[in-house]
Structure 1
Amino acid sequence: MTETTTTLPTDAAHRDKWIEAGRGWGARAQEWAYLFEPYALPANQLVFDQLGVGVGSRYLDVACGSGFAANIAHRRGASVSGLDASEDLIDIARARTPDGDFRVGDMFALPFDAGSFDVVTSFNGIWNRCDDALDQVRTALTDDGLLGLTYWGAHQRMGLMPYFITVIQHSPQSHQAATMELGETSNVMADMLSEAGFELLDQGTVEVVNEWPDVDTAVRAMAAAGPSVPAIDAVGYDNFCEALREVIAPMRDEGRNVGVRISSELGWVTARPT
């Protein structure tokens, strides 16, 4: 879930940014959960295969959003937990997987005992400048536990780039910088893992596809993503949606009547504590 983190010098600043992220990602929680979040299914499945998530796994998803990935892990037989900044998204996660342990909390101060989990993931939730979150994950894992992360991949294979450009163009300058930092994650992830006490095991890329029946549904979904909130606050919801519609409409394949399908690349890594 929460991607707009900037440099945070104090614990109080961490909390402030996390609260802000929760507000952003929870502003339109249902639209995010049902119109956008399922795009990550190929990444969820690939990472779970890499980490061996299955029966008996004690699993935690950090920045779990509405619990989409956690529900997949649950269906594989794992005992699942999740943490997110948004209470509205956590409510959906609890509805999706009633047997799970889903908490509203701070990924920079995880509310779980040390060594509680065999596997921890964060799907597009731990980014550049989120080093302290990796320290928390290291503590939450068992000594032989495993970590899996995803993040946006190469710019030239980012079908959603017009969305991010629109966000940047309509956001205050401080949030423009934060959004652009997301794209640097692939360049710094190896160093982040090493500094947090992890050994990189494997890495690669996976294609994910957003698909919607029409442009209006695509615009609703994108406006529900957390990075949209500063732009919406700055120019208003209707104005931002109109700007999105202008860049998304050309992507619709009217000739084949297949709606809007946008392919993007995610990077992924797996790691273990050293």
Structure 2
Amino acid sequence: MTPTLVRHHRYTDSYTDSSADASAPAGAGIRARDWAEIQERMLAPLYEAVYDRLEVGTATRMLSLGCGSGLALLIAASRGARVTGVDTDRERLALARERLLPDPGPGAPSGRPGPERARLVIGGPAAAGEAEGPYNLLTSFDPIGCAAGDSEGLTPALESAVPLAARGATVVLTGWGPPERCATAAVLRVAARLAGPSRAPRSGGWRAARRDDLEDVASRAGLRPDGSGRVSCPFGYADLDSAVRGLLSTGLFDAALRATDRTRVEDEVTEALHPYRRPDGTVWMPNVFRYLVCVA
């Protein structure tokens, strides 16, 4: 299983964004790298649990909505699945391309899936089309339930994706578990407080996950629930700096960054993380995530 305690990665000067407005979120390239190298792997236990339950393998033709930088696709492809990922974030998708598609140049690393088993498409599900027959697995691994409007926003994507799937295909939705089971919820409340009550509901600011978030999405998309599960996904970081960078890469603090300045957000997140700091300087926050298995 992919480890969730990550070492801080220092970047070269090519990723420095010294000209950025201090009140704006970090540059897209920096944040995409932080997500891919620090934060994304925290959800690896969720991906693995879903794939184990569904016996993902060579017979699987998967379409991943909001595939990001591609770790979930890479894990599925390593099990023999044929995978297609769609995302509107060009920076994250570029990193997914590095992971999944081999460099044709000399000395290219081996062992990546390649174009015969992996496809990446910028845009929404409609841009993906069918690949070698209809998909039999649709996944949405971007956890819903912690940003205002995220569950409602997923419905149109599902409505576009379902027609690309075979009759009776499996659809997997994922979300945050109950706030009382997620230590990170205490830190994410900083995002809501700094964004202000008048801003967060309209701008994707943090909100507490609700028990029926996933079921509500399934109902709106016309999907039939067929089982669910909970997975422990602790967030572990080598130090406070890595924790702050990883958390800010999620996008859940964007409303707070727009409402105030980056320095204040980073300082307050750092303060909120102190209860989860261990004597050796690492940061450890237990969390539970949910997944809902549906039939299209």
Normalized against structure 1, the TM-score is what? 0.82
**Of 38, 42, 56, the match for 1:39:** 42
Task: Indicate the residue corresponding to 2:136 in structure 1.
Answer: 118
Q: Which residue of 1 aligns with 2:88?
A: 85
C-alpha distance in structure 2 between counterparts of 1:176 and 1:161, whole Å: 15
- Is the partner of 2:212 in helix, strand or coil? helix
Q: What secondary structure, in the 3-state scheme, does the structure 1 residue paired with 2:287 have?
A: strand
Q: In 2 relative to 1, CA 180–219 (structure 1 residues): closer, same or farther, beyond 3 Å? A: closer
Aligned partner of residue 124 in structure 1, secondary structure: strand
Letter in 1 for 2:155: D
Asked if residue 210 in structure 1 is aligned to residue 210 in structure 2, the reply is: no
SS in 1 for 2:129: coil
Range moving further from structure 2, 35-44 or 155-164: 155-164
Match of 2:253 among 200, 208, 228: 228
- Answer whether contact 1:51 1:148 (CA < 8 A) is retained: no
Cα distance change, pair 121–152 in 1 and its aligned pair in 2 (3 A): same
The question of 1:250 aligning with 2:275 is answered: yes
CA contact (8 A) 1:24 1:226 kept: no
The CA deviation string for residues 85-109 of structure 1, in whole angstroms up to 9 with x for no partner, is: 21000000011111221122135xx
> Which residue in 2 is equivalent to 1:271?
294
- Are the counterparts in 1 of residues 205 and 255 from structure 2 also a CA contact under 8 Å? no
Contact 1:62 1:125 in 2 (8 A): no
Between the aligned partners of 1:46 and 1:63, the Cα distance in structure 2 is 19
Write the mapping of 1:25-104 to structure 2, written as runs, cut at 5 A: 28-98=31-101, 99=114, 100-104=118-122
**Alpha-carbon contact 1:150-1:268 (below 8 Å) kept:** yes
Percent identity among equivalent residues? 26
Residue pair 1:157, 1:264 contacting (<8 A) in 2 also:
yes
Query: Against the structure 1 CA distance between its residues 189 and 102, is the aligned structure 2 distance closer, same or farther, given a 3 Å change threshold?
Result: same
Q: 1:24 to 1:149 in 2, by over 3 A?
A: farther
> Are 2:156 and 1:153 equivalent residues in the alignment?
no
Partner of 2:193: 169
In the alignment, structure 1 residue 200 sits paired with structure 2 residue 200: no
Q: Secondary structure at the match of 2:233?
A: strand
2:98 partner amino acid? A
Which residue of structure 1 lines up, in the alignment, with residue 12 of structure 2? none
Contact 1:148 1:271 survives alignment (8 Å): yes
Per-residue deviation, 1:72: 0.3
For the residues of structure 2 that align with 1:228 and 1:208, how far apart are their CA atoms? Answer: 20
Q: 1:106 aligns with which of 120, 124, 132?
A: 124
Unaligned runs of 5+ in 2: 1-25, 102-113, 145-149
Instruction: Give the AA of the match of 2:156.
Output: D
Structure 2 contact 66–88 (Cα < 8 Å) conserved: yes
Instruction: Identify if the C-alpha distance between structure 1 residues 224 and 138 changes in structure 2 by more than 3 Å, giving closer, same or farther.
Output: same
Instruction: Please give the secondary structure, in 2, of the residue aligned with 1:102.
Output: strand
Equivalenced residue count is 246
Rounded Cα–Cα distance in structure 2 between residues aligned with 1:25 and 1:40: 21
In 1: Cα distance, 2:199 partner to 2:182 partner: 20
Counterpart of 1:136 (choices 160, 168, 172) is 160
**Whole-angstrom CA distance in 2 between matches of 1:85 and 1:159:** 30
Go from structure 1 to structure 2 and tell me whether the alpha carbon gap of 1:25 and 1:118 turns closer, same or farther (over 3 Å shift). Answer: farther
Q: How much has 1:46 moved relative to structure 2?
A: 0.9
Give 1:180 deviation, angstroms.
Answer: 4.6
Bigger Rg, structure 1 or 2: 2
Aligned partners of 2:60 and 2:137 also within 8 Å: yes
Q: CA RMSD in A?
A: 2.2
Quick one: distance in 1 between partners of 2:160 and 2:53? 22
Distance 1:24 1:43, change over 3 A: farther
CA distance in structure 2 between the partners assigned to 1:205 and 1:25 by the alignment: 31
Residue by residue over 1:249-272, the C-alpha shift from the partner in whole angstroms, topping out at 9 and shown as x without a partner, is: 221011xx2611111111111111
Shift, 1:132, TM fit? 1.9
User: 1 or 2, which has the higher helix percentage?
Assistant: 1
